[in-house]
Structure 1
Amino acid sequence: MDIILTILASIAAACSDRKNLPKALISGGIFKAAAALCLVFFQGPGGVFLHHGKGTYYLYYGILITIAVFGLVEASVGCWVSGRLEDRHAAGKAVLCVSILPLVCVAAFGGFVVLRKMN
């Protein structure tokens, strides 16, 4: 739970100061990718995804794989933005704004449960 609060604080700091943008992109992207992959490997689908046929079962894993790939792309964008922060700030901020939805999805799918089990 502390990791999520730290990442949210870095996202808020990146909105007010350009220097914090690469850090927020890299840490947020790596966290999303790691949490999504932990959900794929250690926790099966539940709720709506479990009792409505094979389509929703595969949708669950498809969403998590997409979030993991997006997290890696977000971390890569963070490295790219850090090279020329003044020129690439707008692109990095756009990716940061879009990255909030996958963060919410990972938390809703049970990212907190997996992280609690790992500690």
Structure 2
Amino acid sequence: MGNALFGLHGDVELGLGDGDGNANAAAEMVEAAHDVTKLRRALFAGGVGQAAAALYLALFRPPAGLFLLNNLLFYSYYVLLVVVVLFGVAEAWVALWVSNQPRRRRGTGMTVLCISVLPMLFLAGIGGSAVLNTLK
């Protein structure tokens, strides 16, 4: 099983890079607007990545900063991370759904891809604050 996971690293067909590890997420999202197969890859990789990052933050990074002001904000940190996990799973499911009839469902896939920027910004903010806290 471990060797199979290492075999996926840098796989061009799965959208995990070009073999040299040079993956650019923003460029992939722009190219996904024009190519249905890239749309499916961007949706699936983005959904799985968001779900994994949110799970990691929920399990291993305690809330910091603004989320420590009161109990409501403290619990909202975990609620938001659970919502991001569920959205990531839904985004990956949409990728599979779009791949069944790519020409007819492209619009829905593009809408979900555009909406997925919001959870990514939230995760980047939370993850960035966690990185800044470790540097202090």
Stretches of 4+ aligned residues off by more than 3 angstroms? 111-114
Please tell me whether residue 35 in structure 1 is matched to residue 53 in structure 2.
yes
Task: Name which of 78, 92, 102 aligns with 2:109.
Answer: 92
Alignment of 1:1-119 (within 5 A): 6-50=24-68, 52-110=69-127
The Cα shift of 1:10 comes to: 1.8
Q: Deviations over 1:49-75 (max 9, x none)?
A: 01x111000001111110010000000
Structure 2 CA distance for aligned equivalents of residues 30 and 111 of structure 1: 19
Q: Which has the higher contact order (CA 8 A, sep 6+)?
A: 1
Unaligned runs of 5+ in 1: 115-119
C-alpha root-mean-square deviation of aligned residues, in Å?
Answer: 2.3
Structure 2 residue matching 1:87: 3-state secondary structure = coil
Give the percent of matched residue pairs that are identical in Structure 1 and Structure 2: 39
Q: TM-score when scaled to structure 1?
A: 0.85
The answer as to whether partners of 2:54 and 2:85 remain within 8 angstroms in 1 is yes
Q: Which has the higher helix share?
A: 1
Whichever of the two has the greater Rg, that structure is 2
Residues 19 and 112 from structure 1, CA distance in 2 versus in 1: closer, same or farther, beyond 3 angstroms? farther
Whole-Å separation in 2 of the counterparts to 1:12 and 1:112? 27
